[in-house]
């Protein structure tokens, strides 16, 4: 059964067959009931919004070519960035260091956004990368 989901000022349709919320459609259909998201759900959406804002901001600074024209291809470039970020996180955690520059939170946000970029590359949605 589909339901209408409310998150802050957003209302969308919950599609139980895909397990996702379509925030654009909204609904006044009588077959849908109101669902208020819990704290966990709201926290997830808040983090995703922060990640999206950061990714879009950095994309404006870097442009698409740092990914689409990476040596060895876009996925290889992302793999190197992800490897470096994980090595940094491991070093800081294992050695018990406090970061001098970017926080662990920043590093994990970068990892999440590299994963989003990789999904866009795989789907042919990253500018300059086709899905063939």
- Is residue 45 located within the same domain as residue 105? yes
CA distances from 64 to 13, 33, 55 (A): 32, 41, 11
Q: State the Cα angle at 20 between 16 and 21, rounded to 5°.
A: 105
- Is residue 66 located within the same domain as residue 87? yes
Q: What 3-state class would DSSP assign to 132?
A: coil
Whether 90 is covered by a domain: the verdict is yes
- Is residue 10 located within the same domain as residue 74? no
Q: Is the predicted pLDDT of residue 44 greater than 70, yes or no?
A: yes
pTM above 0.85, yes or no: no
Domain range for 20: 3-37
Per-residue pLDDT band for 50 (boundaries 50, 70, 90) equals very high
The count of domains in the chain is: 2
Mean residue pLDDT of the chain comes to: 82
């Amino acid at each position: 059964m589909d339901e209408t989901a409310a998150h802050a000022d957003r209302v969308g349709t919950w599609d139980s067959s895909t397990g996702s919320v379509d925030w654009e459609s909204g609904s006044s259909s009588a077959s849908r009931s109101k669902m208020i998201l819990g704290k966990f759900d709201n926290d997830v959406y808040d983090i995703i919004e922060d990640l999206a804002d950061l990714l879009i901001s950095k994309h404006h600074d870097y442009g698409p070519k740092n990914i689409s024209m990476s040596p060895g291809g876009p996925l290889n470039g992302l793999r190197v960035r992800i490897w470096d970020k994980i090595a940094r996180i491991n070093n800081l955690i294992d050695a018990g260091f406090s970061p001098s520059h970017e926080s662990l939170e920043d590093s994990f946000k970068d990892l999440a956004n590299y994963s989003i970029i990789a999904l866009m590359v795989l789907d042919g949605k990253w500018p300059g990368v086709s899905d063939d």
